[in-house]
A and B are shown apart, each in its own frame.
Chain A
Amino acid sequence: MPSPPVSDPVLARAGLPRPIVDVRGLRTHIVTRWGTVKAVDGVSFQVAEGETLGLVGESGSGKSMTCLSLLRLVPRPAARILGGEVWLDGEDLLAKSEREMRAIRGRRIGMILQDPMSSLNPVFSIGMQMREPVALYHGLRGSALAARAAELLAAVRIPAPAERLRAFPHQLSGGMRQRVVGAMAIAAPPRLLIADEPTTSLDLTIQSQYLGLLEELQDRHRLALVFVTHNLGIVARICDRVAVMYAGRIVEMGPVRRLFTRPAHPYTRALLESIPRLGTRATRLTAIEGQPPDLAHLPAGCAFAPRCPSVMERCRVEAPPETVVEAGHVTRCWLEAPARPGDSPGPGAGPAR
């Protein structure tokens, strides 16, 4: 019988509240014609109330699929959640029936999708799309419903909200649309908000405003926020903790400052190094060598081994377990694991060809 979530003792000592979300060993596989893709391969993390966890990684690292798995909205029939536990406020979501999940989606977990141009239904008015969740969650009708919908739009700082309800998505700009999506996501308000690269498709100037909006909403409703992005700059700005994903696994997770100043995993280090810095006299941009992994045919051992500059023999053979580097900072790397005789870290050993 699995136990209800226990907060990380380290966090508890630090006085942080119990986690709202506790994911343990989540596994989601997708069957494709080229093989079985292990999109989410044993992912575990926790997010507390009012905390923002960043989920970082390349395309295909499993960030979006993890989020969809939390909601149990994986694209069927090819994708299936195979195992693990997802505890939300003390309830295991993976044990629930579809009907129960439907009651949870939106009400207890909200999500903002990436592309505002396509996430709103083009043939229905904004009003209809706003009223629908509000009616669903709060059972309001008529003018109370309309008023509440307008309130929500105002909460995301959309001017003239009452009139905006009559508009259609194609009449709004990208930034506006994303705010509407945000309003829908906090309509309940939920306990957990998942934001899947919400600013990636927005103009730079709008991005900053939107991030500010998210922070405000989070403060107001004490949301746990999972923020998926590939942009480390955004992570630095709004995340408290960050999890770096690679090939379906979390390879490093810890407080933001820690990861930025003392990254433990070579991949994290490589990501940080690849950010161009102004003022230096570099002649080349640093990129991570090698190709992203073929998710249907992952190598035995550590998935990053083919591209890792510090790869050891052991890495190619055995997948590293989660090791605690420091309180609240974990990683999956043999460099941090207790050494075995015969191991020799090879700095600059070069990626496998």
Chain B
Amino acid sequence: MGEERRRSPPFRTSRWGSCSKRQTARTMLRFIFARLLQSLVALAIISVVVFTLARATGDPLYLILPMSASQEDFDNARRYLGLDRPYVEQYLSFVGRAVTGDFGNSLRARRPVSDLIRERLPNSLKLAVFAMGVSLAMAFPLGVMAAVRKGTGLDRFAQVVSVLGQSLPTFWVAILLVEFVAGRLQWLPAGGIQGFTSYILPGFTLGWFVVAGLMRLLRSGMLEVLDSEYVKLARVKGVGEGRVIWLHALKNALIPVITFAGIYFAILVTTAIVVETVFAWPGLGRLAYEGISSRDFPVIQAVVLTTAAIVAVINLCVDCLYALIDPRIRYAR
């Protein structure tokens, strides 16, 4: 964070207007707007890339039409699906419809892709939210207390958890969990969505590495902050230790944590393919996998764009949170 040390500007009366709530809101809005524009540009770039790539996955017609189809059938199908038009035209019409939410029909399922996404996306989101929730609930206490009680058994335990969490291959853990917890012990269901308990195994598997990452971030952030002069001053003022740790110190350590929490959440949503496969979870990841294996352009495009859009939204929220927490960011731009 090289931007921390900003020279404080000399005091000017006009500055005080910028402290009102209204000015804060206006600054924030300007901020959000700028970021939205950036996200749109990013999305545009991604759409081009994915469009090209999807086209590059090969001719889907070979998978769709039966073996006995004649050349004429191919040509008809091609014309019907609009695959014979020049790429640029295809792209533009794609973008045009995508903006209205129409991603065309799945070549394989013959249903609107948006329907498919509408069915699958919530599942992925729900799982991601669950995993994130569990991870945060575990990472915060662990990370903060590991820093406060540095060097004790708790600290060492937390460090072990952290390093393991980032070294374990998720799918392997998933398989083992399915076998032991669902298979042998029969404590939890092995797959599909059958109620609350089915969230636990996949959620835990997904969230494991998030706990590891966030916890270590919190720990190192808190260690740094706990040594700072302003924490010393808070103690000098006689503020209670609990308040010093959880208010004065934590808020400063939160900033990188929030950034990464956002990144991790995006990762949870978008790369849950593996976990969804192992646990037969009907989510976006599975949809992508199916789409790719059946060369289903519209599905592939839609999934990637949806993914990118989700990531963009998450990044935006993270940036806003960031600005809310750290006033220096707010007033800098």
Contact = CB atoms under 8 A, between A and B. Distances in A.
Interface string B227-248: 0111011111111110000001
B252 interface: yes
A207 B238 CA distance: 27
Nearest to B332: A170
Given A113-B233, A168-B328, A106 B238 contact: yes
A102 B240 contact: yes
A110 B7 CA distance: 28
B331 interface: yes
Contact of B11 (A111, A115, A172): A172
Interface stretch (A36-44, A120-128, A218-226, A240-248): A120-128
A105 B326 contact: no
B244 to A, nearest CB: 10
A124 B326 CA distance: 8
A73 B11 contact: no
Contact of A166 (B10, B19, B241, B328): B19
B238 A105 contact: yes
A339 interface: no
A173 B10 contact: yes
B86 interface: no
B15 interface: yes
A115 B229 contact: yes
A120 B229 CA distance: 8
A171 interface: yes
Contacts of B230: 118-122
Interface in B247-298: 248, 251-252
A136 interface: yes
A104 interface: yes
Contacts of B241: 102
Contacts of A25: none
Contact of A120 (B9, B233, B326, B331): B233
A160 interface: yes
A73 B248 contact: no
Interface residues of A, number: 41
A170 B327 contact: yes
Contacts of A111: 233, 236
A164 B15 CA distance: 10
B333 interface: no
B100 interface: no
A82 interface: no
A108 B235 CA distance: 13
B180 to A, nearest CB: 41
A167 interface: yes
Nearest to B243: A132
Contacts of B10: 173
Nearest to A118: B229
B328 A73 contact: no
Interface in A156-209: 160, 163-164, 166-174, 176, 181, 184, 187
Interface of B: 6, 8-11, 13, 15-16, 19-20, 151, 228-230, 232-241, 248, 251-252, 325-328, 331
Interface of A: 71, 73, 77, 102-107, 110-111, 113, 115, 118-125, 132-133, 136-137, 160, 163-164, 166-174, 176, 181, 184, 187
Given A121-B251, A133-B239, A172-B11, 11 more contacts: A73-B235, A102-B238, A103-B238, A105-B238, A123-B327, A136-B238, A167-B19, A168-B327, A169-B8, A170-B327, A176-B11
